[in-house]
Structure 1
Amino acid sequence: MTTRRHFLAGLAAATLSPVRSWASVGAPDFLAAALFPDGSYRLAGLDAHGAILFSLPLPARGHAAAAHPFKAQAVAFARRPGTFAIVIDCASGAELAQLEAPAGRHFYGHGAFSTEGERFYATENDYEAGEGVISVWDGTSFERLGEFSSGGVGPHDMRLMPDGKTLVVANGGIETHPDTGRSKLNLPTMQPNLTYVDLSGTLLEQLELPFALHKDSIRHLAVRGDGLVGFAMQWQGSQTEYPPLLGLHRWGEQPRLLSAPEADQNTLQGYAGSIAFSADGNTIAITCPRGNALHRFNANSRAFIDAFALEDVCGLGAGRDGLVFTTGTGTFGALTGADPAISARSDCQWDNHLIPIRSLA
């Protein structure tokens, strides 16, 4: 763990040096966590074709990361129920700070910077109270400034909306406690929701699924430039049921739930891993690692487009001409047409998420 003396010295040095932008590390297009053959967990920066530009060590298994909007900095999160998040200078590989969840809390693996990077927000579990929390951190010193309610239980993913003033939070509805590992403690009564809050924590709108779908845990999010929110779900009910795993929502409207044809939907084992809109926003897709599948839908008509068989596919993001994906077998591929094209095979196991870097200043 970084000592206060080393952290302050590093911070002072950083203020005397030019700001190192994402261009200074080869302008990576994506960040992804991975397990490497030597047993190390690392955060990697990838170019548009999946080549590894850099990889930086993590103290344990990572989940997702958040990229600073213009500095070459990333916050890499532990997998739930981890309590660390590492702030990394991706130009030098130095650890700038380590965020520690307070006593009685753990991170859920996701966070988001404000538009100018002056604040950082993270999803947390107040596991003694059984409530979700959004913590607020200074985006430069990474001092914890405060917190507010997530509006539900089990907040997992969270995104900044295009207005720069609103956070959308995926409250998965599942209560957990570190004393019981990753066990799910409230499945009979769980109630996931999609919550919109302003940056001060004021609840603006909240969406709950119909009771028949109260075991469809809302887990991951994608946001289109016009504010359309896509949400991916993980079914906690009977494996003889095959509910929708993808939804679309626009603020002030009713949600739209999307499913593939029965023969395709029934192979997914009730689990969507990641979600993303294509670069042009016309396509939305989910990955299903348990079912070794990737499904694409038309984001405007909501019609199912196609399904692809891809072993252990999970990471998903917008590529320059469509969608890109990673797998637990080390592959990186693109979907720009009718068939997936593998462009890189790395000697690692890519973890759940592929995080796009929006700005390459």
Structure 2
Amino acid sequence: MTTRRGFLASLAAAVAIPSVTWADAGSPDYLAAAREPDGSFALYGVTAQGQQRFRIPLPGRGHAGAGHPVRPEAVTFARRPGTYALVIDCAQGHVIRTLTAPEGHHFSGHGAFSADGELLFTGEIDNATGSGWIGQWTRAGGYRRSGQFASGGIGPHEILRRPDGGLVVANGGIIAALDDDRTKLNLDTMRPNLTYLALDGTVEEQVELSPDLHWNSIRHLAAHADGTIAFAMQWEGAAAVTPPLLGLHRRGQAPVMCTLPDAMATRMQNYGGSVAFEAAGDRVAITSPKGGVLAIFDLDGTFIDMPVRADVCGVGAAPDGFMLTDGFGGMARFGANALAGVAAFDVAWDNHLITI
């Protein structure tokens, strides 16, 4: 029989056992997928100083991922239209669980944890209709599928946890065929939107672009501490048009479209790759691997600078600005007003740099 004294002793012992944290995986600052020189793929944990903390092989090309807010666990998603995601113990270097998209769905390449880390949300697309879904998985149940709800649009891509704990979804608006070319089937009727969701799936707010920008597919997201959401876009309309590729939105207001001087707008080649706010400050950066540049704006949407970096795409928050990765294995930092190399790896970094 358990005595009160024994119960209290057991409780004290349990409390005394330290929780496993990202420190047990070497305290990486970022996660990034990469292609190795031999054509294989891996997930890396790296620091802001360019030091490798771990490398975990992947069965195929990764896209983006989500880091648990406390524990050294990461979820990495197969390249679209992938149907699997891997939950990885980054401290031990092994796969905890393979998640499989429900029949008739594929993952969108992105996911997000709830603030307490107990729920994982995955972006999903219906194969037949392109309609968007958010899958819910419960960590305490071994990442058990525990529900789903509509994303609020067609073709969701990135989903993000907001500073207030809710979700925001980039519904790109595109129905894509499941062929090797990802043929786009509905360009004339695209209606991308930004959807704010409660964790139970309730739609709290939706934002659509003006009709002349309906070809601007909303793809990637970043959140400022004050709740401002930045969204990066990819233009599917006429190539001769150079629309804004970055938008800023505050709840209850119209979106602010961040414009570039004409000569610089063409350098983006109508493609926004990734987006991030700096860790301490009010600047936001959007990358263009096709143009080999990144564009930096302030929180009001005013253009600041356009540094050049070949094949740059991954961008994450750094204490003094932004950390960047490129397809040639480079890591760089943009600080106060200059771009400086940090490290070079013998890999090709994929599209995204995930800040832990």
Q: TM-score range by the shorter chain?
A: over 0.9
CA distance in 1, matches of 2:98, 2:40: 18
For residue 14 of structure 2, what is the aligned residue in structure 1? none
Contact 1:112 1:159 in 2 (8 A): yes
Question: Secondary structure of the equivalent of 2:319?
Answer: coil
Alignment correspondent of 2:160: 159
Q: Could you give the per-residue CA deviations for residues 311-348 of structure 1, whole angstroms, max 9, x where no partner exists?
A: 00000011121111000010001011222110100000
Identity of counterpart residues, as a percentage? 51
Q: Which string of whole-angstrom CA distances, capped at 9 and with x for unpartnered residues, describes residues 218-276 of structure 1?
A: 00000011100000000001110000000000111000000111111112110000000
**Structure 2 matches for 1:43-82, cutoff 5 A?**
43-82=43-82
The within-5 A match list for 1:32-47 is: 32-47=32-47
Deviation at 1:18, TM superposition (A): 6.0
On the 8 A contact 1:49/1:333 being kept in 2, the answer is no
What stretches of structure 1 move > 2 A for 4+ residues in a row?
Answer: 17-20
How many aligned residue pairs are there?
Answer: 339
Q: TM-score, normalised by structure 2?
A: 0.93
State the secondary structure of the residue aligned to 1:309.
coil
Q: Which residue in the other structure is 1:328 paired with?
A: 327
In structure 1, what residue type is equivalent to 2:51? A
1:181 shift after superposition: 4.6
Mapped contact 2:332–2:340 kept (Cα < 8 A): yes
Q: Which runs of 5+ in 1 are unaligned?
A: 1-16
Kindly indicate whether residue 339 of structure 2 is the aligned counterpart of residue 340 of structure 1. Answer: yes
Q: Which residue of 2 aligns with 1:219?
A: 219
Query: Higher relative contact order by CA 8 Å / sep ≥ 6: 1 or 2?
Result: 1
Matches within 5 A, 1:101-250: 101-140=101-140, 141-164=142-165, 166-179=166-179, 181-250=181-250
Q: CA deviation at 1:280?
A: 1.6
Structure 2: which amino acid aligns with 1:340? Answer: L
Aligned to 2:11: none
Equivalent position of 2:286 in the other structure: 286
Amino acid at match of 2:162: M
CA contact (8 A) 2:130 2:174 kept: no
The one-letter code matched in structure 1 to 2:328 is T
Question: What TM-score do the two structures reach when normalised by structure 1?
Answer: 0.92
Counterpart of 1:160 in structure 2: which amino acid? R
2:331 is equivalent to residue 317 of structure 1:
no
Range with greater deviation from structure 2 (139-148 or 151-160): 139-148
- The CA distance in 2 between the partners of 1:336 and 1:199, in whole Å, is 35
1:64 alignment partner, SS class: strand
Q: Secondary structure at the match of 1:244?
A: coil
2:85 aligns to what?
Answer: 85
Corresponding residue for 1:258? Answer: 258
Structure 1 or 2, whichever has the larger Rg, is 2
Q: Is the 8 A contact 1:110 1:157 kept in 2?
A: yes
What is the SS of the residue equivalent to 1:267? helix
Q: Which amino acid aligns with 1:52?
A: Q
Counterpart-to-counterpart distance in 2, 1:237 and 1:177: 18
- Quote the offset at 1:354 in angstroms: 0.4
Output the CA distance in 1 between the equivalents of 2:267 and 2:320.
28
Q: What do residues 93-151 of structure 1 show as CA deviations (whole Å, max 9, x unaligned)?
A: 11100001112111011000001111000000012132100000012311111100000
Q: Distance in 1 between matches of 2:228 and 2:337?
A: 25
Paired letter, 2:316 = G
Q: State how far apart, in whole Å, the 2-side matches of 1:95 and 1:298 are.
A: 40
Which deviations, in whole Å up to 9, do the C-alpha atoms of 1:266-307 show, x marking residues without a partner? 1211000000001123100100000010111111x3211110
Contact 1:83 1:100 in 2 (8 A): yes
Question: What one-letter code is carried by the residue in structure 1 that aligns with 2:106?
Answer: H
Tell me if the contact between 1:113 and 1:139 (Cα under 8 Å) persists in the aligned partners: no
Contact residue 131 and residue 155 of structure 2 kept, 8 A: yes
User: Which runs of 5 or more structure 2 residues have no equivalent in the other structure?
Assistant: 1-16
